[in-house]
Amino acid sequence: MDPQQQQSAIQGAKVLMVGAGGIGCELLKTLALSGFHDIHIIDMDTIEVSNLNRQFLFRRSHVGQSKAKVARDAVLRFRPHINIRSYHANVKNPEFDVDFFKQFDVVLNGLDNLDARRHVNRLCLAADVPLVESGTTGFLGQVTVHVKGKTECYECQTKPTPKTYPVCTITSTPTKFVHCIVWAKELLFAKLFGDKNQDNDLNVRANKAASASKETEDVFERAEDEDIEQYSRKIYDHVFGYNIEAALSNEETWKNRRRPRPIYSKDVLPESLTQKNGSTQNCSAASDDDSATVSAMPLLGLKNPQELWGLTQNSLVFIEALKLFFAKRKKEIGHLTFDKDDQLAVEFVTAAANIRAESFGIPLHSLFEAKGIAGNIVHAVATTNAIVAGLIVIEAIKVLKKDADKYRMTYCLEHPSRKMLLMPVEPFEPNPSCYVCSKTPLVLEINTQKSKLRDLVDKIVKAKLGMNLPLIMHGASLLYEVGDDLDDIMVANYNANLEKSLSELPSPVINGSILTVEDLQQELSCKINVKHREEFDEEKEPEGMVLSGWTQSPATNGESASTSNNESAVDVTESSSGPEIASKKRKLSETQPENHKRETENVESEDDDDLVEIENPMTVSKKKRVA
């Protein structure tokens, strides 16, 4: 294709961008400057202050507005004659179906989560539209091309899932600071400021301490006339003192572990904080402030978020933050969830995690570090986003030219390898074992007499296969369906089926049964061969079922990703723990060692713009490249 034909193809192309964040801003600008005239953008997010340091299409005056719309308006200022259409919506909404995707020549992803990426991948396969995928984290980045029938699809290789920790580790025997963060964020913050009806192990209290105290049965419930400082100290003493004493009463637990130290407010803080700083009363008058900007740090003379606070400072922040929530944000209490952009929430979680870390002999962290762990943050680099956006456009042009021989998966490296910072790799052929693009049947081992259809739907069809609107059939019998066009009788029948064991369904599912599972929105269908199995290892197979053909990435650092003792687990992505090891893949060239492995990181960027699944290009193993 000569330059004139290439430019004509670019100008006549209809392009869909999904995501208008860190990569998306750079990508939209680059598309516009490269001659693309018809661009559509989907993004459900609004602009936050933390976006402004690298998403250059946005300004402070845009905070709270739609990313897609503002990005469109910004680019039209310097390219007013091109067509850009924005959608402030979720790409998983019903209007973005296969027919919608069919109108585009290529789809370019700049998404922030695995679920949405899988959804777009399936719609592109169903619509037979090429997909260019991307991701960045810090100085690392990658761009991959996925063309139906020619290259592997996005799901041909297993993607890492967030690491989970058994609740017993989080509540009783933390050994890492991330355990303390999860405890502070998912248990303590949720108990104090979230749904009051939820139960968790924070209600445990040492018997002696309980009998000696005047606390009500629910220590977290604040009485109408209870002084806020007394209440704050009561919570402090309960979670850092009484609960630690309760844990210490089990001598068996601490035979081979370091014993934690109970911490009480009277041993750390002065008798009255009000006399010391008098801050909560003074600030409560300014209740019109944006709740996200309320902060305990200025009231305590703390300015540097990278400063490491000692036990006393963390205790002061804990008490002051808790008081501020009740003084200035009382209406929100009961339905708050942790948000890394909520300054007061970050201060509270940091202080609580540090106090708990002090108790268990774990090194303390600054607010800056704690926020990064709590929000699964790897701080974004604008230059990496710009490089990746340029690579996306290069691959998109190759797709439009139908120049399949020149498609490349390109990796942006932090350090030069063979004197290169950009490492191009030939794309691979579709994985014949991929249930998404190769229609390979899956095998499900399950106790068909005990497991309910609900277990199959929640744990397998939705959680593992990523289907949003599933339909399940056994032969000609429809067992379950989701949709707005169902009448009340059908909904009632399907809901009744959910509570039945597989063998009790109208068309019994037993050993040897073959289920057909479909998602009509994604136009994805797969077969599941059912194999009855009586018993499962509660520690290794806590879900009570095993799906083959869909495999989860193994845990790293010797820690199991599954829970032990059949307990529930807390999900967390640990950005500081290093890459997850996934399946073995082929070396890049014949000159490289054969023992390299594929490594993948699953972390989020500074404000959730660009969820990353970065493959290490020096560790790609055995697969067939596209000829």
Q: Which amino acids are annotated catalytic?
A: 168
User: And the tokens for 58?
Assistant: 């946005």
Residues 6+ apart with CB under 8 A from 536: 447, 544, 545, 546
- Are the CB atoms for 499 and 458 separated by under 8 Å? no
Closest CA to 124 of 115, 133, 114: 133
Dist CA 482 CA 489 (whole Å): 13
State the DSSP H helix or E strand holding residue 101, giving kind and residue range, or none if neither.
helix 98-102
CA–CA dist 102, 104 (Å, integer): 5
CA 115 to centroid of chain Cα atoms: 9
Report the distance separating Cα 121 and Cα 131, nearest Å.
Answer: 7
CA distances from 216 to 203, 223, 234, 468 (A): 11, 9, 11, 44
DSSP string across 409-453: EEEEEEEEETTEEEEEEPPBPPPTT-TTTS-PPEEEEE-TTT-BH
**Cα–Cα distance between 358 and 360 in angstroms, integer?**
6
Is there a contact between 514 and 527 (Cβ–Cβ < 8 Å)? yes
Angle at 86 between CA 82 and CA 89, to 5 degrees: 165
Q: Could you tell me where the beta strands, DSSP code E, fall in 253-398? A: 377-378
In the structure encoding, which two tokens stand for residue 563, read together? 């829970």
Per this entry, what is the length of the chain? 627
Number of H helices, E strands in the chain: 20, 20
- On whether the CB atoms of residues 623 and 152 are closer than 8 A, the answer is yes
Phi, psi of 252 (to 5 degrees): -60, -35
Cα 242 to chain centroid distance, Å, stands at: 33
Taking the mean position of all CA atoms in its chain, how far away is CA 535? 32
Radius of gyration of the chain (CA): 27
The span from the CA of 39 to the CA of 10, in Å, is 11
What end-to-end distance do the CA atoms of the chain give, in Å? 21
Q: Compute the distance between CA of residue 437 and CA of residue 16 in angstroms, rounded to an integer.
A: 21
Task: List the structure tokens of 283.
Answer: 């600030």
Tokens of 280: 């909560």
- Bridging pattern class, strands 580-581 and 14-18: unpaired
User: Which residue shows structure tokens 């037993």?
Assistant: 510
